[in-house]
Amino acid sequence: TFTLEDYFNGTARTKSYNMRWVSGTMKKITPTNKYINPNIKYTVTSRVAAFDYMVSADRKYVCFQSNYTKLWRHSYTASYSIYDLEKGDFINMDIPHEIQYLAWSPTGHKLAFVWKNNIYVKETPTSAFKQVTADGAHNLILNGIPDWVYEEEMFSTNFALWWSPNGRFVAYARFNDSGVHNIEYTWYGEGQYPETVLVPYPKAGTPNPTVKLFVFDTNTSRINEHYLSTVTWASDERIAVQWQNRTQNYVVLKTYDFNGSAWTEKTKFLTKGKWEVTSILKVTNDAVYYVSNEHNASPGQRNVYKITINDASHSERECLTCTLNADRCKYNSALFIKIYNILYIGIHVCENLKFLKTFLEVRVLEDNKDLENTLQNIAMPSVTHGTLKIGEFDLWYQMIQPPKFDKSKKYPLLIDVYAGPCSQKSDFRFRVGWSTYLASTENVIVASFDGRGSGYQGDKIMHALYKRLGTYEVEDQITSKYIFLGHCISNHVFVLQSYGGYVTSMVLGAGSGVFKCGMAVAPVSKWEYYDSIYTERYMVTPAENQAFYDNSTVMERAKNFKSVQYLLVHGTADDNVHFQQAAQISKALVDEQVDFDAMWYTDEDHGLGGSSNQHVYTHMSHFLKNCFA
């Protein structure tokens, strides 16, 4: 069987290919840390202990990153060393250490970087830098990088500066956190006294950061002067900017010419149907490539499509991946270069490189045959999908079933829940994880269900939770249990983690008697405690929706936990869902004299990484076995 040790050791981990496109020619870093291109080979990363690299657009320089120090989910600081490919050696630079972000220009070899919240530009790697901004200040003013809430909830990146296509202009955002309240948490470390960490963190109904967008002209060194959502250069002197209002129910897309005039054009829809476009992969002069879940009317599948366009019309959509290993690869995406190549993955391990134009196989980068052979010697679970009708909706579920599953037998059941707005748990992506161990070794059915509020099944389902988190998504998880009861031991049912930890806690606190056990990892407990951008997107402000804020707290349901087994887990340095959330649940349960289990992970953030990751899954496995005993 697939054991817990197999999960921790990565016995069945898929291999990917550490490659990125630089031009029409492939260049890569190999697992042996050697930089390779078609003309020259050097072992250089060991000299600077590099963990990543970036190649200039003209392919004359390679910038190596070292001394990685993580900050939040996407942000980090690093040191940068630039290697001259023509001279075959590193060059001397005046770039300081602890850089927050660095980017090559799209043409040539200009550089823009952020240090101590200020932006700098270099015309060449060897030239002196120009300081673009000078007002950057820790936890107050950030130039070219997002603050905590924009990084986490809006941009999902560590940068807020964008080169124009010709490399002349740099657009950048300036974040002012001076009016934002700080969250404080303790960092215990190894010192005699613990430290206090302060992070500007706007919570629901409190002041948000203010954001301005600027454009810096690298030729003249001149700067031309809500929610800033996305920034895209449409041409060398035209930039498209998307803004949202605070409640995020209204979006303005403005395209600005460099001289300050606005330009708009009536949009034309290229697709329509009862399915969703999940991402746009590539836009060329004559085509749009995108991913959708249209094929087989299955929201959990993903395929790559192409629409040919011209000034007057567009073609019908063409599916490029629907027939590529259709029985195995049902979750696909693509990477593009100028010759439009594709990399795709699926329910089984499929990573191949093909020409989109001719579909001739260029080269198999990684077929994961070793993994496939390994899995043939392990009793692996099977995965089934189906729908459950709740009201007017046919909602999708997924069941991971033990090897040699027998419908006449009864099995323990774990409901693996997330249930956050626009989330999806029932899909066709290949995964091997803790659920695999539970099904393979412990003979547990692991089920997931995408109820009201989930994504990729239409706006009506997704918008059902608007202004009412903690309602339908909780009710639907309770209802979903009944579809699985035919295969399960009576009452031996429980749920888990993150937003799922919130739903777990709300389900157990509902007092329905349906669930016997539950595990909540880093749960939200009260929406006023969470960040403004995420919370107000779905709940508006507390002043506008106080009744639903009040009725969606875990603490108000504390007395109903007396009849269930509950495990509460949290990291003390969680910058996202603060330890405050679990502490308030604990306080309420103690006030109601509820006996429960708790596990705190000192100085760990929301991801519970490192040794804590193995510990938490081992601990949850023990809790699960006791619950099923």
pLDDT, residue 261, reads 55
Q: Helix H segments across 401-531?
A: 434-441, 459-462, 472-484, 499-508
Residue carrying structure tokens 């991946």: 321
The tens digit of pLDDT for each residue in 194-232 reads 999 999 999 999 999 999 989 899 998 888 765 677 888
Give the number of other CB atoms < 10 A from CB of residue 442.
19
- CA–CA dist 373, 574 (Å, integer): 39
For range 127-148, the mean pLDDT:
97
- pLDDT tens digits along 448-474: 999 999 999 999 999 999 999 999 999
Active site residues: 498, 574, 606
Tokens of 540: 């508006």
Q: Name which of 135, 285, 154, 137 is nearest 208 in CA terms.
A: 154
| Cis peptide bond N-terminal to 248, omega within 30 | no
pLDDT at 490 (0 to 100): 58
Whether residue 174 has pLDDT greater than 80 = yes
41-70 burial, b at 16+ Cβ within 10 Å, e below that, comes to: eeebbeebebeebbbbbeebbbbbbbbeee
Residue 40 to residues 126, 191, 242, 421, Cα–Cα distance (Å)? 22, 48, 43, 49
pLDDT at 30: 43
The answer to whether residue 611 scores a pLDDT higher than 50 is: yes
Question: At residue 234, does pLDDT exceed 90?
Answer: no
3-state secondary structure of 383: strand
pLDDT at 265: 53
Residues ≥6 apart with Cβ < 8 Å to 459: none
pLDDT band at residue 33 under the 50/70/90 scheme = very low
Average the pLDDT over each of 31-35, 155-159, 295-299 and give the range with the smallest value. Answer: 31-35
Instruction: Give the count of alpha carbons within 13 A of 300, CB side only.
Output: 22
Checking if the pLDDT of 355 tops 60, the result is: no
Instruction: Answer for the pair 423, 299: CB distance below 8 angstroms, yes or no.
Output: no
Q: Residue 251: its pLDDT value, please?
A: 78
Amino acid 451: pLDDT: 95
Q: What is the pLDDT of residue 563?
A: 93
Q: Give the model confidence (pLDDT) of 588-610 as tens digits.
A: 999 999 999 999 999 999 999 99
Q: Encoding tokens for residue 589? A: 């349960």
pLDDT band for 31, please (50, 70, 90 cuts).
very low
Q: How far is CA 460 from CA 58, 393, 452, in A?
A: 48, 9, 9
Q: What pLDDT is recorded for position 148? A: 99
Q: What is the mean pLDDT of residues 363-378?
A: 84
Question: Encoding tokens for residue 186?
Answer: 């303790």
Statement: residue 277 has pLDDT above 90: yes
Q: What is the pLDDT of residue 408?
A: 87
Is 0.95 surpassed by the pTM of this model? no
Burial 589-617 (b: 16+ CB within 10 A, else e): beeeebebeebebeebbbebeeebeeebb
Q: What average pLDDT score do residues 45-68 get?
A: 89
The pLDDT score that the predictor gives to residue 168 is 94
**Tens digit of pLDDT for each residue in 285-314?**
888 999 999 999 999 999 999 999 987 788
What value does the mean pLDDT take over residues 319-341? 77
Cα–Cα dist 211/279, whole Å: 26
Instruction: Report d(CA 467, CA 621) in Å as an integer.
Output: 35
Pairing outcome for strands 303-308 and 287-292:
antiparallel
φ, ψ for residue 333 (rounded to 5)?
A: -150, -175
pLDDT at 336: 73
Q: Work out the mean pLDDT of the chain and round it to a whole number.
A: 88
Nearest to 522, CA basis, from 422, 608, 421, 619: 608
Least confident of 12-16, 71-75, 493-497: 493-497
| pLDDT confidence tier of residue 437, bands split at 50, 70 and 90 | very high
The confidence band for 354, taking pLDDT boundaries of 50, 70 and 90, is: low
Does 623 have pLDDT greater than 50? yes
Give 566 or 240, the one with higher predicted confidence: 566
Given a cut of 70, whether residue 446 has pLDDT beyond it is yes
pLDDT score at 34: 43
Per-residue pLDDT band at 38 (split at 50, 70, 90):
very low
Q: What is the pLDDT of residue 361?
A: 64
Bigger pLDDT: 612 or 498? 612
Q: Quick one: pLDDT band at residue 121, thresholds 50, 70, 90?
A: very high
Helix count and strand count (H, E) for the chain: 12, 38
Alpha helices in 268-409, H assignment, sequence order = 369-376
Q: In what order do the strands lie in the sheet with 238-244?
A: 227-235, 238-244, 251-257, 262-263
Query: In this structure, how many other beta carbons lie within 10 angstroms of the beta carbon of residue 383?
Result: 18
Average pLDDT over residues 269-297: 91
Predicted confidence band at 348 (pLDDT cuts at 50, 70, 90)? very low
